[in-house]
Structure 1
């Protein structure tokens, strides 16, 4: 096949917010698309054409990106596949790139019906409920038919069966722009003031979805030990999800209501990272957590569990501290160590930023995607 001038790439994602890990990566990629020969078309999903413009659409427009939509309607996937097929044929799409289980199903049918190249991006999995687990199982099956499968870490690749040789598989790490590592707001008042936390307090934050795989319950157990030893320590939980009510009840049972603060969902996680002394990732499972890279880029010390791609980001004792998963005692000891040793915390934070600058730049990540497109179209 000869190389096509100005190839067209259709990107499919199912996302409600632009702060999800996959969407952050897509925005980074599109930011550098002007330096490439590719023309991109970003698609998300809506229930029907009567839906008004939503937060996602407004947010992408602020980034200079126009999102198009596939409408599910009453016919579900039949309707989605038909609309995608019509767009691919009408616009001479060369590559379809999917992120998530719903896009993957459409990607498979478009590849079979239109003969375009298909790249399936596999991100970390969640375990929110039985339905979601079934979707992820199906996602892992259909990716076996993709021309390229992209994983965000070596660990994620190793735990996911994927037929085909090395040429079909790619590892492309997440990345962070050091100029603006995480979204921030222009609010004048202090986050600590809004949450009634003293400026003299030591703030330990967990940022992410409140779902079982994130291990927030493990962190709360650990923080109970920290709170007894360090009176000025406060915890902030940034995010929302199915576990919130259970976590609130757990906090009350431990008598920590005045020391643990729920911040809810945010579009500007950088505000909370900047307001924190320490970031903890107590996850039971992970792909390649953006929040770890963002905290390191903002020069904050990070404690994280040794799961998924985290050990590929953090070198223990050099650019952060690693602890075993589901081990509250280990998280507590690491937290107390960094809160009591500001010199160590500062050294780890500086090394973390240097690591992000060297290995996780968005320019390197974008070029890895562009090179894969060239391989597929040559």
Structure 2
């Protein structure tokens, strides 16, 4: 089987990591993979470095017919059996390419739980006859997508997965403390996410303020980049906690940095699944998160982590305090979370479940 993947992202985020996980695992299963991505993107650089076959197109917009025509041409010349669309612009352009004569079954991935528009164009793109399956990252995303479909059963769930081998770092884990000069007895609390509105880092900072006011000696790490960085820095200063918050940017050495955290704190107001939580599960860092979107499919409250309502900084701070103070709770959460990861959320399961939908769509 030959699968052509489309990804229009200009940056590297969770969706791009999941795409390369999928490509590597599908290759092991005997699938030939080819990727079309955005010119000059981090994904293009990764594919080049790892010798994964790829081409680039500009992806100038969702009506970029020149890119759509090139996608059609590559699909035909490479003789793809399936075209898998991983982003919104890829979805639009692949549908246009299909209209232009690209007669290959389409699979669409949907990883965000934003409510879809109900205008005519959106309804047409999601109900386009060439799309065989819409692979949703969580049950919550599936619920959102099914609301717009004429044939709701087209939307199925395949959870993200991670490769535990990626996080096999020998330790010791001192990179964050040594890089940022953090005392060895200070608690480290952090999140890994783009600095985007739906990640709600403002509530993360409010939670930090609550904990510091409660006397918790902690340093807070914001690991990611995005358009809200200046606003978040200003809000830090407004709260008077700028000395206790580190804006670490994009972290290249995640397997070395993440295990150093004492608590992983995700405060999203909308979230398709929250695959960084799986990274925390893997390196045995306990998780406190909001009950947003698909997060409860990962974080089972009191079992694999602790949950709090969206935008409730006081409740989030309380759950963090429980991990810091309740004897035995931390280890119980870590143990259950690691088991949960290995039984349901590996890259092998991601690839096997996705391949099953490819095979039935041919």
Regarding TM over 0.5, the answer is yes
Question: Deviation per CA, 1:172-225, whole angstroms, max 9, x where unpaired?
Answer: 00011122249x899997221211211111011021111221111011111111
Deviation at 1:139, TM superposition (A): 5.8
Q: What is the distance in 2 between the residues matched to 1:9 and 1:72?
A: 20
- Alignment match, 1:122: 110
- Given the alignment, which residue of 286, 298, 306 partners 1:321? 306
Closer/same/farther in 2, CA of residues 165 and 210 from structure 1, 3 Å limit: same
- Alignment match, 1:345: 330
- Given the alignment, which residue of 125, 129, 143 partners 1:142? 125
- Alignment match, 1:177: 163
Q: What is the distance in 1 between the residues matched to 2:261 and 2:68?
A: 45
Deviation at 1:268, TM superposition (A): 3.1
Deviation at 1:71, TM superposition (A): 3.6
Question: Deviation per CA, 1:136-173, whole angstroms, max 9, x where unpaired?
Answer: 99667512212211100000111233424454222000
Deviation at 1:227, TM superposition (A): 0.6
Question: Deviation per CA, 1:46-92, whole angstroms, max 9, x where unpaired?
Answer: 2xxxxxx6643332334342331124589971210111111122222
Contact kept? 1:237, 1:260, Cα under 8 Å: yes
- Given the alignment, which residue of 7, 17, 24 partners 1:13? 7
Deviates more, 1:200-209 or 1:30-39: 30-39
- Alignment match, 2:22: 29
Q: What is the distance in 1 between the residues matched to 2:159 and 2:199?
A: 20
Closer/same/farther in 2, CA of residues 231 and 220 from structure 1, 3 Å limit: same
Contact kept? 1:57, 1:66, Cα under 8 Å: no
Q: What is the distance in 1 between the residues matched to 2:62 and 2:280?
A: 43
**Map 1:297-376 → 2, pairs under 5 A:** 297-341=282-326, 343-376=328-361
Closer/same/farther in 2, CA of residues 75 and 123 from structure 1, 3 Å limit: closer
Q: What is the distance in 2 between the residues matched to 1:331 and 1:311?
A: 15
- Alignment match, 2:47: 60
Matched positions, count: 358
**Map 1:1-378 → 2, pairs under 5 A:** 7-18=1-12, 20-46=13-39, 55-71=42-58, 77-112=64-99, 113-124=101-112, 142-145=125-128, 146-160=131-145, 161-165=147-151, 167-181=153-167, 190-341=175-326, 343-377=328-362
Q: What is the distance in 2 between the residues matched to 1:277 and 1:186?
A: 15
Deviates more, 1:362-371 or 1:56-65: 56-65
Q: Secondary structure at the match of 1:300?
A: coil
Question: Deviation per CA, 1:252-300, whole angstroms, max 9, x where unpaired?
Answer: 1221111111111223333331121000110000001111011011111
Q: Which runs of 5+ in 1 are unaligned?
A: 1-6, 47-52, 128-132
Contact kept? 2:159, 2:345, Cα under 8 Å: yes
Q: Secondary structure at the match of 2:256?
A: helix
Deviation at 1:34, TM superposition (A): 3.0
Contact kept? 2:3, 2:82, Cα under 8 Å: yes
Compute the RMSD of aligned alpha carbons: 2.8
Q: What is the distance in 2 between the residues matched to 1:253 and 1:74?
A: 38
TM-score by length of 2: 0.90
Q: Secondary structure at the match of 1:264?
A: coil
TM-score by length of 1: 0.87
Q: What is the distance in 2 between the residues matched to 1:222 and 1:75?
A: 38
